[in-house]
Amino acid sequence: MRVNIKNTITAGVDVGAATAKTVIVTDGKILSHAVIPTGDSVARAAEKVTAAALEEAGLSMPDLGFVISTGYGRNGVAFANKAVTEIICHAKGVNFLIPAARTVIDIGGQDSKVIGVREDGNVSDFVMNDKCAAGTGRFLEVMADVLGLDIEEMGPVSLTSKEPCLISSTCTIFAETEMVSLRAEGRTREDLVAGIHRAVASRVAVMGRTVGYREQVVFTGGVAKNIGVKNALESGIGLPILIPEEPQIIGALGAALLARNELS
């Protein structure tokens, strides 16, 4: 796609492991956004989700001045003008919504990151989980499955726990076994779920110590919708955490904003 310098409307397309998101912005305003499951084709998901966002804004492809793709599928988005990593985009997106943010905790489907953000929205330092699923959304999905819960139910369920189970397993497979034996011991579902949240939170909290937590801390990514993980993270790092209204689209938003910079 050719760069349209006259047009100040830009898009960010974030293709993650679980979902694809597109945000369309113009001059500091969000025009529209869309989220769909990624499915098995990055290219198709990117096109579909962008078409949806364009439709919502009443626009079409040629109206876009610049497109930046991000997320793990960023290099598979044919119509993007540039690919930027989701770490840079998250910092930018959070900075736009919450200028006071200095630390971003992003927990997505397949990985998690702790990002230090400068006043100008640039990244100061970051750390990303290694190939292990513990400390990611995938871990929560597996555990929800083991407990026969819907992933959305987990947050609210955990809030009623009086004594969260201690689950320190660093491995998804082992944690699964652990769940089974804890259930055999008669622990309640609430305590188990709260324990799972604590395990995810403590893994991410520790990982981020090499970057350091500075206020304001902001929590993004799909898992940020889970109130239980948020609470556990707050106690893990000892600081209050803010969650943007649409935590899932921050990467795409950042990409769209960066795309705007490309035009000026």
Under rule CB under 8 A, residue 87 binds another protein = yes
Which of 157, 175, 223, 224 is close enough to bind another protein by CB under 8 A?
Answer: 175
Q: Classify the C-alpha dihedral 128-132-138-139 as positive or negative.
A: negative
Torsion of CA 193, 194, 195, 196, to 10 degrees: 50
As beta bridge partners, residue 31 has none
SS3 category, 185: coil
CA distance 44 to 35: 13
**CB 8, CB 19: distance < 8 Å:** no
- Which residue, among 251, 219, 206, 232, has the nearest Cα to 101 in the 3D structure? 219
Under rule CB under 8 A, residue 131 binds another protein = yes
Minimum Å gap between C-beta 115 and another protein is 9
Stretch that binds another protein, among 23-31, 39-47, 174-182, 214-222 (CB under 8 A): 174-182
Binding residues among 201-230 for another protein as defined by CB under 8 A: 202-203, 206-207, 209-210
Which of 96, 126, 139, 219 is close enough to bind another protein by CB under 8 A?
Answer: 126
Which of 141, 178, 190, 191 is close enough to bind another protein by CB under 8 A?
Answer: 178
DSSP letter, residue 248: G
Under rule CB under 8 A, residue 255 binds another protein = no
Q: Verify cis geometry, omega within 30 degrees of 0, for the bond prior to 216.
A: yes
Which of 169, 220, 226, 231 is close enough to bind another protein by CB under 8 A?
Answer: 169
Under rule CB under 8 A, residue 264 binds another protein = no
Stretch that binds another protein, among 95-103, 121-129, 238-246, 247-255 (CB under 8 A): 121-129
Locate 89 and state its tokens: 């985009």
Between residues 36 and 134, which has the closer beta carbon with respect to another protein?
134
Could you tell me which residues come within 8 angstroms of residue 204 by beta carbon, excluding any fewer than 6 positions away? Answer: 105, 107, 112, 114, 129, 135, 233, 236
CA distance 152 to 147: 13
Minimum Å gap between C-beta 181 and another protein is 4
Under rule CB under 8 A, residue 124 binds another protein = yes
Between residues 181 and 264, which has the closer beta carbon with respect to another protein?
181
Residues in the chain: 264
Locate 3 and state its tokens: 């760069």
Between residues 160 and 170, which has the closer beta carbon with respect to another protein?
170
- What is the pattern of x (binds another protein, CB under 8 A) and - over residues 67-86? -----x-----------xxx
Minimum Å gap between C-beta 174 and another protein is 5
Minimum Å gap between C-beta 51 and another protein is 26
- Which residue, among 136, 126, 158, 133, has the nearest Cα to 232 in the 3D structure? 158
Contacts to another protein by CB under 8 A = 72, 84-88, 122-128, 130-131, 166-171, 174-175, 177-178, 181, 202-203, 206-207, 209-210
